[in-house]
Amino acid sequence: MSIKSKKIIEALDSLFPNAKIELTHKNTYELIIAVILSAQTTDVSVNKVTPKLFKKYPNIDTLSKANIEDVIKIIKSIGLYRTKAKNIILMANQVKDNFNGEIPNTRTDLESLAGVGRKTANVVLANAFDKDVIAVDTHIHRISIRLGIAKKTANAREVEESLYKFFPKENYLKLHHQLIFFGRYHCLARNPKCLNCPLYDICVYENKMA
Ligand code: SF4
């Protein structure tokens, strides 16, 4: 492990020792739905609609038979609700038809489902199936560049590869949540807390506050 990666791990352990996924869920079914719904919206707003959604549609089978207008009514306070309603019902049908009603545990199978891209697949693989992967969201993308882990021009996939090279495998799951927390609560897109940042010395962000 490099001195820099050790320093980042130590700083994150100290800032966010208990970082964890903030999408409320009780099982893999609820996790994948919550992650699909969280695209371009906050976890807080997703957590407001999922209790009612999961109560009415507690599993793949019930959701696969759902009326789209009813699902829209339940989730309409979140962004892209029409597309997301369509995707989660279609996803439930695909899981039922192609995977015997079980959420699959490989990237290829997960990415074959409606509404599931690489990021969503990685969140499910890591959190439900303990796979060593990191899902690159907007926070992780931003701070990986600011900390010089990834190139300034890197796309999400390139950031992901840079993170795998930079950090030891055994740290991925915890780091994934800690990096999100760091971006969400400390190194914010606007007004990052530079003056109180344990990573100030290694940060390469040209606009960090002096
Ligand atoms: S110094 Fe500022 S920009 Fe750099 S990592 Fe810390 S909070 Fe983020």
**pLDDT of 1 above 90:** no
Q: Does 118 share its domain with 151?
A: no
Q: Does 161 share its domain with 118?
A: no
Q: What is the pLDDT of residue 7?
A: 96
Q: What is the pLDDT of residue 52?
A: 98
* Whether residue 139 has its Cβ less than 6 Å from ligand 1: no
Q: Does 191 share its domain with 122?
A: no
Confirm whether 122 is domain-assigned. yes
Q: Does 65 share its domain with 118?
A: yes
What is the value of pTM for the model shown? 0.92
Whether 97 is catalytic: no
Q: What is the pLDDT of residue 81?
A: 97
Q: What is the pLDDT of residue 210?
A: 74
Q: Does 174 share its domain with 113?
A: no
Confirm whether 99 is domain-assigned. yes
Q: How many domains does the chain have?
A: 2
| pLDDT (tens digit per residue) in 10-27 | 999 999 999 999 999 999
Give residue 145's region: left, alpha or beta (phi > 0; psi -120 to 50).
alpha
| pLDDT (tens digit per residue) in 141-179 | 999 999 999 999 999 999 999 999 999 998 898 999 999
Range of the domain at 99: 28-129
Distance 209 CA to ligand 1 centre (A): 8
Confirm whether 150 is domain-assigned. yes
**pLDDT of 106 above 80:** yes
* Whether residue 200 has its Cβ less than 6 Å from ligand 1: yes
Domain boundary at 76, 107, 129, which?
129
Q: What is the pLDDT of residue 59?
A: 98
Q: Does 83 share its domain with 162?
A: no
Q: Does 33 share its domain with 52?
A: yes
CB neighbourhood size of 191 (10 A): 8
Confirm whether 205 is domain-assigned. no
Distance 167 CA to ligand 1 centre (A): 19
Say if residues 75 and 37 touch (Cβ distance below 8 Å).
yes
Whether 137 is catalytic: yes
Domain boundary at 85, 103, 129, which?
129
Residue 118 phi/psi, 5° resolution? Answer: -60, -40
Distance 178 CA to ligand 1 centre (A): 15
* Whether residue 149 has its Cβ less than 6 Å from ligand 1: no
Confirm whether 209 is domain-assigned. no
Q: Does 59 share its domain with 121?
A: yes
Domain boundary at 89, 104, 129, which?
129
CA gap 10, 194 in Å, rounded: 17
| pLDDT (tens digit per residue) in 192-207 | 999 999 999 999 999 9
Domain with residue 138: its CATH number is 1.10.1670.10
Say if residues 37 and 49 touch (Cβ distance below 8 Å).
yes
Kindly report the protein residue whose alpha carbon is nearest to atom 3 of ligand 1.
208
Q: What is the pLDDT of residue 170?
A: 87
Distance 204 CA to ligand 1 centre (A): 8
Which one of 187, 188, 206 would you pick to mutate in the ligand 1 pocket, going by the greatest count of ligand atoms within 8 A of its CB? 187
> Chain-wide mean pLDDT for the chain?
96
Q: What is the pLDDT of residue 56?
A: 98
Q: What is the pLDDT of residue 209?
A: 84
* Whether residue 208 has its Cβ less than 6 Å from ligand 1: yes
